[in-house]
Structure formats: C-alpha cells, structure tokens
Amino acid sequence: MSEPFDPDHIRRTLDQICHSDNPEGKRRTAVAMILIGNREAKELLFIRRAEFQGDPWSGDVAFPGGGVEEQDADSRATAERETLEEIGLKLPQEAYLGSLGSITGAYLPVSIACHIYHLAKLPPVTLNGEVVKTFCVPFKVLLEPERNQQRTFKYRNSHHSHPTIELDGYCDHFLWGISYRILQRFFVTLGIETLH
C-alpha cells in the first residue's frame, strides 16, 4: 500500500478528480501547493503575505498564488507565474502532480484553483514585496490534534469563529480561511483523517 504522501499516489488520486476550471461569476485565482521531500513528501511550503491596507488577505498564511490574468493559458499557468513572481521559484513541469480543483471564498466572490507540485528539496527563494516570509511545516505537525482548534478572532471589523491550525514554532500567524479549506480538501482527497 502506498504512503499517503507518496507523489505517485497523489498524482494517481488527483487524476481521478473531475472539476471545472471556470466557475461563473467569480474572480478567478490560483495557488501552488508545494510539497517538499526527497522520495515521500514530508513538508508543505507556506508563505506569509505582507500587510497592506484594504487587502483582504493582508498578513495571512497562504500558498503562493494570485489572480488569473489574460496572458495565462489556464489556472495552472497562473499558479506557476505567481509562484515565480512572489518567491522567485520556477516550478519545473515534472514537479506537477495535478489539480485539486477550485474552492469558492466564504466572504469574497473569488474562486481559487489549487495546483499541486512536489520538489525533492526547496531551492533558495527570493521574496517580492507581496510576501514577507516562506516556511515549511511537516505534515505530521499540521495534523497534530492540539494544533487544530476552533478560534474566535476579528476579521473585517467583526468577530468570526473558524477552525484553524496553530503554527507556533514556524510562524506567528495561524492558518485559517480558504487556505485552511484547501489543505483540508487535500487531506480528505488523500483519505487522511482530520479533526474538521
């Protein structure tokens, strides 16, 4: 039986997913979920976004990515272009494992397509002004029960309660929102049991 984070197993699993890359009435965006590990993926790459007034994702923990532009052939091209722009990482074609499909924003009219990649190791990165930090978190840490908790906090001038992942030791911000939901979809797709 394959390990859940074996790249070949992930590729085969993603190949079985049918999804639309063009949701109606939504701003289209795309992100790159980048798995790191020599043979089996051990860690996941995150970024922390810079803080800008009026940016709904200001300061958030996220995956590299951004809005689909006219010159992009598809959402995968967007994810790869944005990863290069934001952290200076050119994703090779052979690193691509497949698409996780799209998730719609809970508060904003946006659809985020997630494309998944595997690298044996992370090369040096160069951050642009949109990103203040990159960091890798082991999958076993992301799945620790004590890190997975419901949290109440202020967002867009009102209080909200959401499931989160505490990233203490890796980042001073927690994972929540659409990036959290993308990660949970990834785990569910691979048949990995989570708390939420």
Q: Is the pLDDT of residue 55 over 70?
A: no
**Residues facing 67 on adjacent strands:** 29
The pLDDT confidence band at residue 83, using thresholds 50, 70 and 90, is very high
Confidence of residue 1 (pLDDT cuts 50, 70, 90): very low
Note whether residue 169 is domain-resident.
Answer: no
> Alpha helix (H) ranges present in 22-115?
75-87
In a domain, 153, yes or no: no
Tell me what the pLDDT averaged over the chain comes to.
89
Of how many residues is the chain composed? 196
22 in a domain, yes or no? yes
Q: Is residue 149 part of a domain?
A: no
pLDDT at site 19? 66
**What is the pLDDT at residue 53?**
67
Structure tokens given for 39:
């043979």
Nearest-angstrom CA–CA distance, 121 and 36:
6
Confidence of residue 56 (pLDDT cuts 50, 70, 90): low
The DSSP element (H or E) to which 170 belongs, if any, is none
Domains: count for the chain: 1
Answer with the residue of higher pLDDT: 1 or 133: 133
Identify which of 20, 15, 34 has the alpha carbon closest to the alpha carbon of residue 116: 34
Q: Which residues contact 71 (CB under 8 A, 6 or more apart)?
A: none
Which residues form the domain of 51?
Answer: 7-139+176-189
Residue 162 lies in a domain: no
Give the pLDDT confidence of 163-190 residue by residue, as tens digits.
999 999 999 999 999 999 999 999 999 9
The CA-based angle 169-161-131, given to 5 degrees, is 45
Kindly report the backbone phi and psi dihedral angles of residue 40, in degrees, each rounded to the nearest multiple of 5, phi listed first. -95, 140
Closest CA to 41 of 119, 98, 136: 119
124 in any annotated domain:
yes
Q: Which two tokens stand for residue 154?
A: 């202020």
> Could you give the CA distance from residue 130 to residue 62 in angstroms, rounded to a whole number?
12
CATH number, domain containing residue 107: 3.90.79.10
Q: Is the pLDDT of residue 139 over 60?
A: yes
Residue 165 lies in a domain: no
H or E segment to which residue 61 belongs: strand 61-62
160 assigned to some structural domain: no
